[in-house]
Amino acid sequence: MRPAVIDIHPHVISTDTARFPRAPLGGHQSSWSAERPVSYQQLLADMDEAGVDKAAIVQASTCYGHDNSYVIEAVQAHPDRFTAVGSVDILADDAVSQIEQWQRRGMTGLRLFTTGSTMPGQATWFTDERSYPAWEYAQATGLPVCMQMTQDGLDDLRTIIGKFPQVRLVLDHLARPDLSGGPSFPKAAGLFDLADNPNIYLKLTVRALEALDKAGASSADFFPLLVSRFGASRIAWGSNHPASPGGLKALLGAARDALACLSEEENAWIFGRTAETLYPVLAAAEPAEVRHG
């Protein structure tokens, strides 16, 4: 039996625009969701081809905004393989009620989209006092909150950590650090400084590999350092499929190659066990070899 492989950052897009109309945050749809949509049925096929057992599907905010209907349909169709990380307007008066309603339908994680292709620049609204009831709810219930953000938002994030120190935060794409400056990665100091908070988790995607390549830096320098600070049990792999091109199998392969410098145990955490900690609904018996060979 091999360790489970769990993807905590794929997206799904329906071709049925009547049932699932586009309502992107930022007012215009992302190019990737328009040009290479992947339905949840296709995601299952891609997972089987790649050797991915389960997935925490992240709401495609640049296509559907806060309407999580399609990702919820995916979970309800295949609860043995999927869970949902949905989006809610946490500034709304009924934000907690909205979170609870989506949870009853299968959402087990929340994602706040504070920057991205349809919303350039780092927003600060997640520190608004109107958001506090949602943060308090997430802290009290253990609901993990994924943050789509950049390094420019880390000071504001520390404000939230100070007020809600027990909330579990998952930084999408490692909060997009600048990995230039040499093997000590001095420009990523803000990221490394967050390691002291045990409730900070990192989502490792192809964006980190792209940042390393841009900086001319080595995976063998960066990932052991990252693990030494955060521990593999607070790092989880996500594909970013299909927002990142290449296909799920290739994205997983690239991550495997980059993390070959780590131990087998550390890889087991990053590619599966940490995901089970964040999303216990995905934890199960070891996957059968017959599924993927």
Tens of pLDDT, residue by residue over 68-82, are 999 999 999 999 999
pLDDT beyond 60 at 212: yes
CA–CA separation, 259 and 262 (whole Å): 6
Tell me the percentage of the chain whose pLDDT exceeds 70: 97
Q: Is the pLDDT of residue 156 over 90?
A: yes
What pLDDT does 288 receive?
41
Q: Is 287 a residue whose pLDDT tops 70?
A: no
- What's the rounded mean pLDDT across residues 131-135? 98
Tokens 């593999």, residue?
232
Tell me how far apart the 2 most distant CA atoms of the chain are, in Å.
51
Which range, of 10-19, 46-55, 241-250, 282-291, averages the lowest pLDDT? Answer: 282-291
Distance CA 135, CA 28 (A): 28
What is the pLDDT at residue 289?
A: 43
Mean pLDDT of the chain: 95
Q: How confident is residue 285, by pLDDT bands cut at 50, 70 and 90?
A: low
Mean per-residue pLDDT, 37-60: 98
What is the chain's alpha carbon radius of gyration, rounded to the nearest angstrom?
18
The rounded distance, in Å, linking the Cα atoms of 198 and 136 is: 18
Residue 116: per-residue pLDDT: 82
Residues 6 or more apart whose CB falls under 8 angstroms from that of 208 comprise 173, 174, 177, 179, 222, 258
Average pLDDT of the residues in 189-213: 97
State pTM to two decimals.
Answer: 0.95
Q: Is the dihedral of CA 139, 144, 146, 151 positive or negative?
A: positive
Crossing angle for the helix pair 206-215 and 219-230, nearest 10 degrees? 130
Amino acid sitting at position 273? R
Least confident range of 9-13, 22-26, 257-261:
22-26
CA nearest neighbour of 9 among 35, 47, 49: 47
Predicted confidence (pLDDT) at residue 292 exceeds the cutoff of 60: no
**235, 229, 231, 224: which is closest to 258 by C-alpha?**
224
Cβ-proximal residues to 281 (8 Å cutoff; 6+ apart), any chain: 79, 83, 108
Percent over 90 (pLDDT), the chain: 93
